[in-house]
Structure 1
Amino acid sequence: MIYFERGSEHDEISLREMQEALYAVFDKLGQRNRVLILPPDFTRRHSMAGELTTMAYNYFRDRVADILPALGTHKPMSEAEIANMFEGIPAHVFQVHDWRNDVVEVGRISADFIRTISDGRVSYDWPVQVSRLIYYGQHDLILSIGQVVPHEVTGMANYNKNILVGTGGAEAINKSHFLGAAYGMERIMGRSQNPVRQLLNYAEQQYLSHLPILYILTVIGHNSNHQLVVKGLFIGHGTEVFEKAAELSLKVNFQMLDTPLKKVVVYLPADEYKSTWLGNKSIYRTRMALADNAELIVLAPAVECFGEDSKIDQLIRRFGYKGTDATIRAVAQNAELQQNLGAAAHLIHGSSEGRFKITYCTRLLAKNDIENVGFNYVPYDEMVKIYSPDKMREGMNRINGEDVFFISNPALGLWAWKNRFLDVDR
């Protein structure tokens, strides 16, 4: 059921208009006395989920029992990040999701189902895991808030991923990520229908349909002045509300190119990207746009580690981004990787498979650290003398006689060469 829908490629929805729409929906729902809000964390601050969470809190006030940022495997938000993203909301309302210890398994989906949807590429069962707070919190309204945008694991981000992955457990996260990697990231990105999404939809329908979940989904894009604005707002439950948002996101966030790119420079804003676990969106979101033997330059001033989680950081340092075949062999031979399939999936996602060159430019990770995981290295301060993010414009630039395609934040879209995208479809 859709309670509210508005959006187009040319729309710009103001904060006032979003609040009016949100409050009108809340009025229709009637009295709610124990509300749980599930926003994303600070790495998705551009989603407008912070503003929407604040609006929801201001409507319900002390009836908001809990706010649980959907961290997935990310680090907990700091007090400063919470204050910045969720202005005016008291800190005591916020809870921290513990993906390794504080989840409940509410069902299990068979290996036969997984084998069927993955075309035989994966054959294991899958646990339906969610935060105990969601399942046992006795809330009479659960608001799941976030942005729909192309995504490397689920094709299009958010919707029930916010719950089943964002507040899921280790086994569910690991196996869902590996399912996507095994099926093929380039077959999934930018597609709302794929095996991972099919799994999440089935899990919600079978095991979570009794929960009072309301989805509040945004689509974010640039206007003609290159400012980030809300292009779409969709509120409701059921797959239709997600499909509407995903359809608009493809129009707003997906840039189809007529020719492949030979050089791409991606900037990772310092307040959002502290790890390659997050920063490798620069690879995921551009790989289908890159020509063979192209170079991807990643400007990463604040990247200081590989994994958001210490165990995953160790595994990335140990095995590196060495490609699908090497990673599959490592999984077969190593029990730790078998228990952390999400890390294995990340290693596959972060490799160019030898097709193009990846140069990571950091201040806080040393040359040996970068090169040991399989990337090329140039110091950040040296590279920005040539490719300054302050001087380049979005898209194509001409620098020192060469064409350079610049992206100021990879989380905002997906770029693909038309022929490669269509070839994957076939």
Structure 2
Amino acid sequence: MENIIGGAGQVLTDAQVRTFVLDRLADEDLDGRRVCVIVPDATRSCPLPLLLGAVHEALEGRAAAVTVLIALGTHAPMSEAQLAKHLGGPYPGFEVRNHEWWDPDRLVSLGGITAERVAELSEGRMRQPIDVTLNRAVVEHDVCLVIGPVFPHEVVGFSGGNKYFFPGVAGQEIIDFSHWLGALISSAAIIGTRGITPVRALIDEAAAMIPARRLALCLVVQSGSGALHTAAFGAPEQAWAAAADVSAQTHVSYLDAPVRRVLSIIPDKYDDMWTGAKGFYKVEPIVADGGQVIIYAPHITRISEMHPEIEQLGYHCRDYFVKQWDRFAGQHWGVLAHSTHLRGAGTWDPEHGEQSRVTVTLATGIAEPVVRAANLDYLDPAAVDLPALAADPETLVVSQAGEVLFRLR
């Protein structure tokens, strides 16, 4: 039986998706099993009401228990109202939980990865042991079913698959570790890279330590609509690889030459700059040296609810931290990674200071003093002339920014 449906350029009907999910789960040994269903939060486009409805139909009366775990990473928890809108339902017999990454009692260690193995996986970029921790719910169930989309990603190359375990429902130490590894490679270098990147290799190594049986329903979502191009089912490694191949054909747009300016219009699903920064990551590769990215998001009023220290740390290029590591090694490495991802490529040395390749300008609801203190440029969103920028031949306007990657041919 086929473990993938759809493809690039296709749009699946709800009936096709529902039948595919029902058929795949009917073939799995789930009777009497405790099943943990891991799904993304609202920062990822995904038709979860359709998918969870089919999963509920498939597991009702079969599974001994089902827990739906929201893969927050280190994002803010979702409220009951947000969960109802995001997941649909109700789903009688299903328990829904946020991943409480901030609560050590909710986490369990699976063991460690040695420094020597880390050096091998990271291709020599890092050499220290790492404790592999994740949400207790994962090990308290017999089967883990990941349901989530695959997009080009600034840390790992393409998101999805085992990434829903690490960092999705992991402890902060391994989240910080994996994100800093990605930052050392740099967002511009790794985003949209197909195959097993060093960060993906680390994630897969950690996921192999999970005692539960792992399954994944990996999806390629039509950006901006929530419809599905592709659904792939199976072991996370294989389902992810199949979906990533389609995402590479679907979620990457190519330009023949760099542009001087990009205006990224950030959708409402990104409610702070921690998540809205995806509007920069996805366009950095096409901006000319000395160019500008304007992040247009009047609805965003804060840099980060869960990581307020970023306001004091500010946004800086990778070398700013690496070449002053004694100053910054004690910070959360995930925060350092986020800082480098939004600042973009650049250099730092003691004599000349920091030199950034492009200018990052926030046209948001964040106060000007906060923006400038964070080492970013400020623009009053009321002063943004959208029609004029759209008519400017040196400006690319990207609506619904954050999912489609732009690259040069």
Contact 2:48 2:88 in 1 (8 A): no
Would you say 1:115 and 2:119 are equivalent positions?
yes
Amino acid at match of 2:340: I
Would you say 1:349 and 2:344 are equivalent positions?
no
Helix, strand or coil: the match of 1:321?
coil
Q: Tell me by how many angstroms 1:243 deviates.
A: 1.1
**Aligned ranges 1:353-368 → 2 under 5 Å:** 353=346, 354-363=356-365, 365-368=366-369
Change (3 A) 1:170 1:331: farther
Would you say 1:280 and 2:284 are equivalent positions?
no
Amino acid at match of 1:111: A
**Which TM-score applies when normalising by structure 1?**
0.86
**Which TM-score applies when normalising by structure 2?**
0.90
Q: Tell me by how many angstroms 1:40 deviates.
A: 0.3
Would you say 1:196 and 2:191 are equivalent positions?
no
Amino acid at match of 2:85: N
Partner of 1:313: 308
| CA–CA distance in structure 1, aligned partners of residues 142 and 114 of structure 2 | 30
Contact 2:40 2:70 in 1 (8 A): yes
Partner of 1:143: 145
Helix, strand or coil: the match of 1:164?
coil
1:168-227, Cα deviation, whole Å (9 max, x unpaired): 00100000100111122222111232100011112223x12x4122100110235xxx85
| CA–CA distance in structure 1, aligned partners of residues 236 and 98 of structure 2 | 27
| CA–CA distance in structure 2, aligned partners of residues 93 and 48 of structure 1 | 19
Stretches of structure 2 lacking an aligned partner (at least 5 in a row): 347-355
For the aligned residue pairs, the C-alpha RMSD in angstroms reads 2.1
1:93-121, Cα deviation, whole Å (9 max, x unpaired): 21121213221110211112222333322
Amino acid at match of 1:239: E
Contact 1:39 1:53 in 2 (8 A): no
Contact 2:151 2:220 in 1 (8 A): yes
Quick one: which of 277, 288, 292 aligns to 1:291? Answer: 288
Residues 126-135 or 18-27, more deviating: 126-135
1:298-342, Cα deviation, whole Å (9 max, x unpaired): 111222222241xx222x1111112222223554214641xx111
Stretches of structure 1 lacking an aligned partner (at least 5 in a row): 419-426
Would you say 1:18 and 2:10 are equivalent positions?
no
Identity of aligned residues (%): 25
Amino acid at match of 2:403: L
Q: How many residues are paired up?
A: 392
Would you say 1:241 and 2:239 are equivalent positions?
yes
Change (3 A) 1:283 1:398: closer
Quick one: which of 364, 382, 399 aligns to 1:408? Answer: 399
| CA–CA distance in structure 1, aligned partners of residues 248 and 329 of structure 2 | 39
| CA–CA distance in structure 2, aligned partners of residues 157 and 77 of structure 1 | 21
Partner of 2:218: 217
| CA–CA distance in structure 2, aligned partners of residues 298 and 402 of structure 1 | 18
Partner of 2:179: 177
| CA–CA distance in structure 1, aligned partners of residues 151 and 342 of structure 2 | 19
Amino acid at match of 2:335: A
Q: Tell me by how many angstroms 1:58 deviates.
A: 3.4
Contact 1:122 1:182 in 2 (8 A): no
**Aligned ranges 1:92-171 → 2 under 5 Å:** 93-100=95-102, 101=104, 102-135=106-139, 137=140, 139-171=141-173
| CA–CA distance in structure 2, aligned partners of residues 185 and 32 of structure 1 | 43
Helix, strand or coil: the match of 1:20?
helix
Contact 2:280 2:402 in 1 (8 A): no
Contact 2:266 2:400 in 1 (8 A): yes
Give the helix-richer structure, 1 or 2.
1
| CA–CA distance in structure 2, aligned partners of residues 126 and 410 of structure 1 | 34
Helix, strand or coil: the match of 1:77?
coil
Contact 1:154 1:194 in 2 (8 A): yes
Would you say 1:57 and 2:42 are equivalent positions?
no
